[in-house]
Every structure is written in structure tokens, then in C-alpha cells.
Chains A and B, each alone.
Chain A
Amino acid sequence: MFRLPKRGLVDHGAPLSFSFDGRRLTGLAGDTLASALLANGVHLTGRSFKYHRPRGILGAWADEPNALVTVIRGGGRSTPNLPATQVELFENLVAFSQNREPSLERDRWSINDRLGRFLPAGFYYKTFMWPKSFWSRVYEPRIRAVAGLGVAPEQADPDRYEHRYAHCEVLVVGAGPAGLSAALTAAESGCRVVVCDDRPLPGGSLLSAASATIDGLGAREWADTAVARLSSMTNVTLLPRTTAFGYYPHNLLGLCERLGDHLPGEPAGPRERLWSVRAARVILATGALERPLVFPDNDRPGIMLADAARQYLQLHGVAVGRRVVIVTAHDAGYRSAHELHAAGIQVVLADTRPAAIARSTPFRVIPDARIEGTRGTLRVSAITISHTGRSERIDCDAVLMCGGFTPSIHLASQSRGTMAWDAEVQAYVPAGSAEAECSIGAAAGRLELADALADGCRAGRDAAAAAGFAARRIGTPRASVDHSVGQGGIIGALPHGRDPAKVKAFVDWQNDVTARDIMLATREGFRSIEHVKRYTTTGMATDQGKLSNLNSLAITAAQTGRPVEAVGFTTFRPPYTPVTFGALAGAARRDLFDPVRQTPIHDWAVAQGAVFEDVGLWKRARYFPRASEDMQAAVNRECLAVRGSAGLFDASTLGKIEIVGADAATFLNRLYVNAWDRLAIGRCRYGVLLREDGFILDDGVIGRLAADRFHATTTTGGAARVLATMEDYLQTEWPDLDVWLTSVTEQWSVIAVQGPHAREILTPLVQGLDISADAFPHMSIGEGTICGAALRLMRVSFTGELGFEVNVPSSHGHAVWEAIWRIGQPLGMTAYGTEAMHVLRAEKGYIIVGQETDGTVTADDAGLAWAIGKTKRDFVGKRSLARPAMKAPDRKQLVGLRTLDPAKLLEEGAQIVGPDGGPSLGHVTSSYYSANLGRSIALALVRGGRALEGHRLRVAMPGGGIEVDVTNPVLFDPKGKRLDG
């Protein structure tokens, strides 16, 4: 066992049982899966992406590229690709390794490692070239099966997720020494502060700072005090387990708070909460990540980052090995060595720097060390180091690397801040801000504790002041440390004496990219780091190059003979670490994905067994099947009833706009193709609205209620668009017009009563309005009451029958519907749905915007030229109608199609060609079986179609064409006599 008693922040008295690849193991409360595995001596946790090399735990948190696991929870919960270093242990956690078959220890694809020289960077571009069709059918699926990550879950995610908007003056990302002191200082000013940290406990590096003191307190104790103080302040929101993953424009940050994954069992509340935080100022205290070293065979299990090993010791009381060799290019390696040595671990330190300072250390130091390679298959067993002219093999069970520290500039880079090369830190550090933000502490390349604390106090004070809050002056905490972080570091590949062609020195562990791959890319002519990245895939994958970016940059620079800063670097994009789809979706799932809009008559339709269809966000009754009727049977019955007796139709979803003002008629004149000024009060007109480019935008009936008041209807889907178009012209083009628009779509329920008995049914119900044929002819509008409710009655028809549209306030819609239903039923009235409505209107050749039109159809194309006010000099879209293409005789025009076989139904969308084939002449826009006509009917847009009336064409279908005759689109009651019934 590798657990050290009494050490770390774990609870030594609270053992937790868990399983890894089916093996039962024991950890402690406070462990991560990685620390618990290490405590059990398990380093081997994965197989690499391409070569299937055995891989171990490399880091201690979000930088982990190797130890990706799938965690299985009850109820179909399965999360792949989680770094074991970030999975918090709980009782009975079940985890599996990935990308191996049948087991980690014996993986059949490990043969890829020996084929490595055939699988260099971009091998798939070069190898799988022939035959071309094999790429998508054979090569890609096979490569994906072998090179891979975890398996996506197969069941729907049973967990809940939620979103939260938040606003603050100061957002602090990271609760280490810099972040905590910034938050404390800012919060004392009284402004709203949000502090987030992605680890389970706030404190950052303070939690593992064994030998540091701040203001006389131990570092951990100081952090605890700071956290307690922040928690007690009502103006502070402290969010642990919360990753700031995205920096979006104008200081909006995306945060993902993990609420359930660290707990056993099903979460009581949401699993995760996605925060959208808008902050006046942002302080980035995101710390720095230790860099690995690029030397031969640097990827065996047991080889890991030195500071990660130090954290496992100080946070979890875990020794990553008993005999470790620390390879360092930075002074910080000595700190790790001291702390490990003090815990009883045997340490040898190999310093790659020529002038390794001769320190008085209690452990052996090898200066000017050159790493020639390592041994061990499933676990490192030895390292070969050459120094002072000789080669020495040192047996060990862990090798720790320290190449220096890379500031975590991800969020600063996402915010489009500029970066500058810091030669001392050997990394890019934030240099200029695009947003109201600043980076402090290690994130700014200032690695020492005292600097972080001082940065935090200053930044907290400045941010509060910038947001208009005067900060109380609190002194900068005084830090003292036994071992400073120090200086040094290296980037790029370390020199070695072995044959470069036979050596694998990994730069990017997760994507199996070696130094040789990057050199190959530069030899093949890639110079831009963006291209090198894409060709070699270095810096991609779930860890997004947290460890590899600078080393690949330095190798590219060296190979192309440029300084590193001349190569530039790849801009970071969100997310910093992967975010679940669940968190992004939030509550927007299943029946809450979109609002489901229902009319006041919806429940009645449900009770009648209606089948519904989606029209935009609306649910509309499509047909009302009786007993064993299928859709066609129900629609046939409904269509016959409307023309034979009467039908009742819920048209409440129609858009309605009340247009009021002295200039209302002028406004409609300018907007619609029709002439409106001479429309009498109490009369309606069918209006066509074009876009400025001349194509149909929408249509609808508009009635004049008073000289200065119109009731306009729009299509269901066009309601918002028409209102927006009207407001646009009123506000921006004709602000001088006295016209006001109010959406009344939801104010009025609309009940269409259509058919020969329609008047007879309505007459006993309508009061205060004479609806006799003479007093209320076709295209009338009037006001009265019905069943005690306000009534706006329109005599209009979308069926070709005598028809009325009863508008009543929505709260009365259901009651009025029932009242009409009671009177109409004995007369043979039926309720009909949208499908019958479609058939009935198609029989009459009435278009539906969006079905007969597609944004390239003019009023004339649709056979609506009669609606255009001939004497109008201008209306929206008129000028476009005079463009040559709009007047061409071969434009597609609306026609009817008659199949030779009356039982044959065309397919909507089918292409129409000449009798002997040839190019497409148009397409079928509507096609139904018409019970009233006893045959199939169809509408179509056909090139020069009106001139082809009487001609025969073919509708192209798989397996042969269907012969059709072109007809007038009006197929039923062409003289329109029934409207006047």
C-alpha cells in the first residue's frame, strides 16, 4: 500500500469501496479516483489513442491526458472520457478503463506500437488513399474502432440540469492564493463577488503548500479562514466544483457547477448547473500547469509530473512510488524532492541543467543529466541517465518530471486578450486585455506565493473601484515559504544520444504525438503552428494540449529555425474542459425543449380524440378520427361534411394584428399589394404582402372596423414576421405615419364555421349583428356579441363554402365553440382539422404561404396578380416586379395537375418534367385525395405553367414517371358560387 498515515486532506477513518475494471479496491473520503488508484499501487489506467501503449496517471487534475475512464452509475448513467484525476471518489463508484480489448494488461491492439513507424503523423492521409470509396466504408470505421476514447452512453440521460443567470461586479476565477485574496479584498468593498474554483475545495495550491505560512497561519489554515470569511458574506457567491469553461464577449462567462457527480446514488436535484455570469470585472487567477519533459520513453505508467506527485502526497497522503527519480529543468523540482523525501520516499534528482546548483540536499542530485530512456512495460522500472560522460541506469518505481510551469492563459486567450512571450517563465503570459479583465498570480507567470497574494489584493481593490465600489484597505498577507518555486524550465525536446528514428519521445500523450511527428511535419513543409497542430493532431483531444502546446511550439520553432515567439501560438477556444451536453441543454429537453402552444379549444379536441400536428410551436388538430378510421377516412368524411353540411375549425393560431391610427389605411396601402383606402368600413379584403424583393412574404384577410381601425390576420407561422416587418417600416421608413400596431393573436380565439348550414347555425347565437345574406355578404366584418362574449365576426372562407370566422376573447373560446357545436351537430356539422382544411383549400386553388411559396414566388406566379392594386404607384416590392427576371414568361406558375389515373396520388416535392423527360420544369407543391371530387388533386409550380394548361407532363418518380395533365388550379366550384350561399 502506498497510503501514508495521517497525511493529506483525506479522512483516514472513512474508507470507501470502489471498483476499477471490475476489481474491488478501497480508497478514502477525499480521494479522487486517481489518488485512490495510486494508493493501491495502480498506475496503469489506460491505453494510448493510436499505439495502444500502456499509460498511467500523469497529472493530478484537469491536465490529465492518459487516465481517461468511464464512470457507470445506476439508471443508465454512463459518462465516458472522465480524467480519473477529476473523478471524486464515493462509496461503490464503478469505473472502467477505455480503448483496450480485452483488458488493460493484455490489449490486442498494442501491436500498433510495433507498427509505429508505419503510423506517423498524417498517416491516414497518405495510406488509405485507394480505392477512394473505401475511406468512408472501410478505413474510417476501422480506424475509429481501434483508435478511440470511451463509448457514448446508449440510454437517455436520466439526470436533470439547470441554468442560472448571475450578475456581479467582480468575478474571480480560481480560489488559490491569488483568487482568494482578490475575492476577499473586492468583497470587503460591498460589491457583488462570484468566486469559482473547479476543485472540490477552494484553496488551490495552498491546500498542498505544506511548508508555507501566511500571516503566521499555515497556508491551509489561512485558506480555511479566507473561505469561511467569504462564505459568511451575503455579497459573495462561492462556487466550488465549478469550472469557468468559456469567456464570451462583454464579460459573460460560462461556468459549469457539478452538484451530483461526487455523491453516491441518484442526485436529489440537478446533476449540474450551468451559470451564465455577467461581470463588470473579471479576475483570472487560474494558476499554472506544470510542463512535462520530452525525453525517450517518457510515457510509461509510473512516469508523471513532479508537482502532481507532490499534490498526491500533500492532498491525499499517497506516495506515487517508493523509489522515485525526479527529472527537473526547474528549481520547483527540488521542492517536490524535498517534500517527498521528508515523507520517507527515496529520491534521486536529475537536473537537466548544466549548472545545477550544488545544494545541500538530503537526497542525491545528478547535475547536467541527459535522459536516454526508461524501462518497464506496464510500469516504469528503471531510467537511464547519462552524465559526466557515463551512462547510469537507476532502478525506480516512478519517474517524476518538472519542465517548468505554463500559466493557464486559456480564459484570457478566449477573451481575445493579447499574449506576450515571457523568456524567464518560458511561456506566453497575458499582455493586453480586450475585455475588462486581468490575470494575476501564476496565471500571469508570477509563481511565488507572495506575488500571488500581492496581485490578488491589488486586483481585488482595483476591480471593486472600477465597478464603483471603494475598497477598504486591507494589508497584503505576508507569506513565508521553506521552498520557493524558483526559476528555470525548458521547452521542446530534451537532447539524447539514441537513434532518433527509433525513439518515441511523447509531446502529446493523449493523441500519441511524438517529437518525431512534429519534426516530420516541419520537414514536410508545415510552418504555421495552426497547420502543424492539425496535421499532427497535437494539442487536440479532450485535454486540448494543456501539457503539450508549448513543447510542440518549441520543437516547431527549433526545426524551422525561428525563435518561439515568432511561431506564435494557437488561440484557445471554449470550453476549457469538456462540458456535458446535459448542462448545455439545461431544462430544454423533451416536452420542455420548446414551448408547446395550445389554443383554448385544445382540450376539447383532445377529448374528441383529435390527432395533432406541429405548426411552428403550436399544436393543431390535424383530423378527428372516429372509431377505426385512419387519417384518409377521417379526412374524407370531414371534407364531405363541410361541403355537404357544415364544418367547425379551430383557426385560433392565425396571427392577428390590430392596426389603429389616422394613417392606418395609408400604411396598409404602402405595405400590401392591394388598395385599401376605398375599403368600406365593415368590409374585408384578402391581402398579399411582398418582401421588397417582390416575393410573397405572407397573406391574410384584413377587415376594416372603423375609419382608423383594421383587424389584420396573418398566417400562423408568419405572425411574428409580419408584425416585425410592419414595425420596421413604421419605425424606420415612415415614422411620420400615425399608426399603432398591437398583436392580438392570443386575445382572440377564432372559430371557423364553414359550409352550407353555417349561417343557420350561427344566427341563433349572434346578437347585435345582422348576419343575413344581404346584410352581411361575403367579405364582411362586424362586431356584436355571442354567448355573452364580445364578437368580431368575419364572413370569410378558406374552403370555398359559405363561411364565417368567429373571433371571441380567448377565455370564451371553448364555451363559444361548444355552443356552436351543440347547434351544429344535429345539422350534420363536423369538426375538421388542418388536413381537411388543406384539402378543401387545394380544391379551390387557394395557396398556403410556405407550401405553394418558397421565397421565390411572386403574386403573379401564384396566380394572385388580381390582388395587386393597378393604380398604385408604389407598395413594398412593386419596383422589384418590374425587373426583367420577374416578368419572364417562363417563370414557374401555379397550376393544377390531374393524374390520368384518378386514384394515383402524387408526392409533394416531386419533380415535373416534359412528356419525354428532360430537365425539371417545376415541382408538386400540394397533393391530396379529394373525396368531394372523387379523385386525387395536386397543385404545382411549373415553368410557364399557365400556358401549358391542357398539356401532358410527367412527374418523375423512382421506377418511372406518372403522367399528368396541366389544369387550372381551381378544381372545385370554379365560379365561386358557393361562397354566396
Chain B
Amino acid sequence: MTSGPLSLETLQPMTRHILRCRERRVAEASDLLGLDLPRSAYGTASHADRHALWLGPDEWLILAPEPFAATADVWAAIGASFVEVSDRQVALQLSGAGADTCLAGGCPLDLALPAFPIGACARTVFHKAEIIVWRTGSSRFQVEIGRSFAPYVTRLLSQQVQRGRSLAVPT
């Protein structure tokens, strides 16, 4: 499988929400979202362009290209909290051969495919910033970063990417 050259790009703005609810409300929340909310660590679920990333047993990051129709009342009715955080964080996409090694410069998780397969996500750290790392391909990651931490993470990742590119041996 080819994975292409290392690259780092900032993704377009998207709609983000933090969903929080009790476990017994997960089924209803899933119905409202139109996808099966993941129920365990590292889990993600997608339907069309809509994604749910497990952050904790009562917390999910919901990503979508467009705003949601459901209002606060609908969520309140099932005892859930659905708070928009679209502008709270920004997303980078890191892809190409050695993307996992770039992350390993500051992220302590085991990102080998068997331990962190495609679709896995985790909130963790990168150097001194909190990130959410989501593997969207065998060598492609989406990294969600708090808005004001983005320049810091981007610079550190760019250094790794540049270095990784200079090391890449043409095949």
C-alpha cells in the first residue's frame, strides 16, 4: 500500500459539538444523530459526513460539515447536553509515510496499526498541548487542537514533517 509523501494541512472549518449524556441515553442520542455512538475507548462512528468520536464514557465530539437542525430543547428532552464548539478547536490533517512517527515526536500513545487501527481516536497530549488524534487512514490522522494551541502544535508537527521529508528515500 502506498501512502504518499508526508504532508500537513489545516482542514476547512466544520461544525463541532460536544455531546454529553448518561449511558442509558446513548440510544436516544444515537437516533438524534443518525449514527451509533461508540461506547468504548478509542471508538468512532461515522454516517455519511457525520462523525462521532468517543472522548469519555459520557462525552463525544460530533463532527459534521454543516450545522445541525436539532435544537437545545430536543437534547434537553433526553437529558443530554449538546454544546457547539465549532470554533473552540481547529483540525490538522497529517498524512503520508511516517505520519505516525511525526506524532510520536510528542504523543506518548502507541500509534502502531494493531494498537491504534484505522478509525481509532483518543484525547491525549502532544508535547505540552492537549490534542484529539483520530486515525482516518493507515497513514492519515486528523488532529483536533484547541484554537490557541494550534500554532504551537502546527510548528512542532511541521518540523517533524520537514525532517521526515528530507529523510524520505525515493523508491
Contacts and interface: CB of A to CB of B under 8 A. Distances in A.
Nearest to B147: A746
A599 B148 contact: yes
Contacts of A595: 128-129, 148-149, 152-153
Contact of B104 (A164, A599, A709, A742): A164
Interface in B118-170: 127-129, 146-149, 151-153, 155-156, 159-160, 163, 166-167
Contacts of B18: 742
B10 to A, nearest CB: 13
Closest 5 CB pairs of A and B: A740-B81, A597-B148, A660-B81, A595-B152, A740-B20
Interface stretch (B30-38, B44-52, B107-115): B107-115
Interface in A614-651: 617-618
Of B83, B146, B156, B167, the most chain A CB neighbours within 10 A belong to B83
Contacts of B156: 587, 592
A588 interface: yes
Nearest to B146: A746
Contacts of A809: 86-87
B105 A164 contact: yes
A810 interface: yes
A167 B107 CA distance: 12
B158 to A, nearest CB: 11
Contacts of A618: 148
Contacts of B151: 596, 598
A162 interface: yes
Contacts of B109: 165
A280 to B, nearest CB: 11
B155 to A, nearest CB: 7
B79 interface: yes
Given A592-B156, A594-B128, A162 B88 contact: no
B104 A746 contact: no
24 contacts: A164-B101, A164-B105, A165-B105, A165-B108, A166-B104, A587-B105, A587-B127, A592-B152, A592-B156, A596-B151, A597-B148, A600-B147, A661-B81, A662-B79, A740-B58, A744-B88, A746-B89, A746-B146, A746-B147, A747-B87, A810-B87, A810-B147, A811-B13, A811-B86
Contacts of B110: 167, 278
B26 interface: no
Interface of B: 13, 18, 20-22, 58, 72, 76, 79-81, 83-89, 101, 104-110, 112, 115, 127-129, 146-149, 151-153, 155-156, 159-160, 163, 166-167
B105 A163 contact: yes
A738 B128 contact: no
Contact of A746 (B80, B88, B108): B88
Interface string A247-270: 000000000000000000000111
Contact of B83 (A594, A599, A617, A658): A658
Contacts of B79: 661-662, 738
A708 B105 contact: no
Given A658-B83, A661-B81, A597 B108 contact: no
Contacts of A851: none
A193 to B, nearest CB: 13
Q: Which residue among B21, B85, B86 has the maximum number of chain A CB atoms within 10 Å of its CB? A: B85
B101 to A, nearest CB: 8
Contact of A269 (B87, B105, B108, B166): B166
A374 interface: no
A745 B83 CA distance: 12
A976 to B, nearest CB: 34
A811 B87 contact: yes
A743 B21 contact: no
A595 B156 CA distance: 10
A841 to B, nearest CB: 24
Contacts of A166: 104
Contacts of A600: 147
Nearest to B85: A747
A594 B160 CA distance: 17
Nearest to B75: A660
Contacts of B166: 268-269
A566 B132 CA distance: 54
Nearest to A709: B72
Interface in A800-816: 809-812
Interface in A74-107: none
Contacts of A162: 105, 160, 163
Contact of B106 (A163, A278, A594): A163
A660 B79 CA distance: 9
A276 B108 contact: yes
A746 to B, nearest CB: 4
A617 B147 CA distance: 13
Nearest to B80: A740
Contacts of B148: 595, 597-599, 617-618, 746
B112 A192 contact: yes
Nearest to B109: A165
Interface in A649-684: 658, 660-662
Contacts of B152: 592, 595-596
